[in-house]
Amino acid sequence: MTAKAEPLTVRDPRYDILFEPVKIGPVTAKNRFYQVPHATGTGSAMPNTRAGIREAKAEGGWAVVCTGYCSIHPTSDDRHYPFSSLWNETDIKAQAVMVDAVHRHDALAGVELWHGGGVVANKVTREAPLSPSGIGEPVYVTHPIQPRAMDKADIADLLSWQRDAALRARSAGFDIVYVYAGMGYLPFQFLVSRYNKRTDSYGGAFENRARLLREMIEVTREAVGDDCAVAVRLTAEENMGANGFRGDVEGEALFDLIGDLPDLWDVKLGFADDGVTSRFTEEAYHEPFIRYVKTKTGKPVVGVGRFTSPDTMLRQVKSGVLDLIGAARPSIADPFLPKKIEQGRLDEIRECIGCNVCVATYAEGVPIRCTQNPTMGEEWRRGWHPERIPARGSEDHVLVVGSGPAGLECARALGQRGYPVTLAEAERELGGRVARESRLPGLGAWARVRDWRLGRLDDLANVEIYRDSRLTVGNVLELAPDRVVLATGARWAPDLPDGADGAAPDVASSIVVMTPDDVMAGATPSGKVLVLDLDPYYMGGVIAEKLARDGHGVRLVTPNTAVSPWTAFTEEQHRIMVRLLELGIDVVTSHALQAVDGKGAELASVYDGKPQIVACDTLVVVGSRRPVGDLAKALDERGDDAQAAGIKDVRVIGDAYAPGAIVHAVASGHRYARELDANDLTVRVEPGDGTYVRGGR
């Protein structure tokens, strides 16, 4: 139930082409929206959670919904990463749960059959990794083992494993079955000379190197029969020069050989460039590198590029780049993106911000979550739907204090449920940390977290918003709402961590000490700037970048072995480091700050304690954040007065409760709104997934 009836809407005829059916071999996609294979951090151990994620996409209008990578044999064991498999009859049953969920909404279900080859370590199955010539990929293999070179019997086994997995896929009910020849995985390793040093009929000339892929397509076709499509997912360009797969060399040669052999080509870039964050790329950034594919095949082509604009999608089709609009991240941020375009509700699209939190959760081996879409991964576990939410359970009036990501999401979801809501913001500008951070270099897309919620709040007559309204405890008691939600956020603290002697480093009074909040508020540093980066995420690097772009001489120092180390999970740490060096920022890793005085900052190696002195006039501390809790404390102290005023409950959410990333704040606000007056807070647990379940809050 929503606070107002859903308006009758009509699709803009410009987008009619996006809703044309597309024939993919023996099956037909009802429109051009194609959720390409992407990991969900669920794997075979969590079939119901995985099915819930995929079903939301199918219900939301995606014509094709695919699994993530699905292993064909125990020699392709990617744990600790949670992957799917089709090794046996039990796996068929687990996969069928997802297929049935997708079919309930008249969508096609695709499965990406996968063998990782020399990229995987087989830590659990303890099988030796395989590769064309015994060459692995140490960047991705997190285990000290080298793959063995495959002989002809191994290749015959691989083809048999692919055939058997394809047969199981058909038994599970899949409509599209993939051969995965990308991202450095085994069939792709045969295509590329840096992996393939063979001198037999599977090596040497490119036609020989392409032989395995041809044979894998053929055995897959034989296995699935005449009523199931065969797709190939290909890394169409690696951007590695002569050492990599080049679209204008190997790519064109491959399509000359087998361009019309499969029913569909799913094309993308390599590991380093496939899912780049919005900080470093624009929408549709794959286009220049995969454009050649359509000129070389008569079969449908699907590709990605973090498409969020219907106009960009339209251009991809009309200009002949793609036949189908592929999406992973945009389909996570808004599973109902196709239906919103179809129904003319473009302003309701919850656009992906390109932060890659979804990618990070997979890399950490846990179920997927999304900054924009707090229901992602909770569809089955908690029964959360991305568009629908239960009607209010009472007439309670809720006061939400603070319009950061937690407060906005809380007010929006409460308003959608039908509660009367008052949202009070101390500042003129709404958005809290999102408004401030989205003005930092590269983070402009993050403003979508604020903008989408403000757009939805504008549609809710039962939500009142008050700007420039810094509330005191007296104001709250005077308003006397039934419930109070404090989303007052957190602020960066200038505190320095204690050293080995238990005392914080000394900082001379002549040194200007600032925090990221000061920088974002426009404070101007003086002289040489030292950014002390104690935060594992993005803030230290982006603050240093801003100051350098503003013309300041900047040195970044961190005790970590790398700048912004957690961004390795979002696949941007390397790019961050390159950007800092390009801007002339002096980066000093693995060093702790000992003291700062008129002579400069004294640093010490975290390994041997060897000191060095560097210039420093302004110290910017990127450390920890403190919850803004004055109002919460005051209300707690006046609990009797709050009770007398009729206030039933005071709850702290978001960064004010526990400082984290924006994704945590949004989820906190959404959870409060979902659970208010709820009778059932059950969290369903998959067999053996180890999830800890507790009640409310």
Task: Give the pair of three-digit tokens for residue 585.
Answer: 């920022």
**Which residues are registered as beta bridge partners of 356?**
none
43 Rama class: left (phi>0) / alpha (psi -120 to 50) / beta: left
CB under 8 Å to 690, separation ≥6 — which residues?
none
End-to-end Cα spacing for the chain:
23
What is the spatial distance between Cα 286 and Cα 306, in angstroms, rounded to a whole number?
A: 9
**Which residues are registered as beta bridge partners of 604?**
592, 611
Q: For 385-443, give the secondary structure using H, E and C.
A: CCCCCCCCCCCCCEEEECCCHHHHHHHHHHHHHCCCEEEECCCCCCCCHHHHHCCCCCC
What is the spatial distance between Cα 395 and Cα 417, in angstroms, rounded to a whole number?
A: 11
Give the type of residue at 279. Answer: R
What is the spatial distance between Cα 596 and Cα 615, in angstroms, rounded to a whole number?
A: 9
Q: Are strands 490-492 and 506-507 parallel, antiparallel or unpaired?
A: unpaired
- Sole residue written with tokens 């020069």: 241
What is the spatial distance between Cα 638 and Cα 636, in angstroms, rounded to a whole number?
A: 5
For 364-383, give one letter per residue: b (16+ CB within 10 A) or e: eeebbbbbbbbbbbbbbbbe
Q: Check if the beta carbon of residue 597 is closer than 8 Å to that of residue 506.
A: yes
Query: Residue 593: phi, psi to the nearest 5?
Result: -85, 130
DSSP string, 554-622: EEEE-SSSSSSGGGGTTT-HHHHHHHHHHTT-EEE-SEEEEEEETTEEEEEETTT--EEEE--SEEEEE
CA distance readout (Å), 132 to 117, 135, 243, 384, 605: 8, 7, 16, 45, 43
Q: Tell me, yes or no, if 81 is annotated catalytic.
A: no
Helix (H) or strand (E) holding 652, with range, is strand 649-652
**Catalytic: which of 185, 202, 657, 672?**
185
- Sole residue written with tokens 């941020």: 333
Q: Are strands 591-597 and 586-588 parallel, antiparallel or unpaired?
A: unpaired
DSSP string, 108-160: EEEEEEE--GGG---TTT-PPPEESSS---TTT--SS--PEEP-HHHHHHHHH
* Catalytic positions, written as ranges: 185
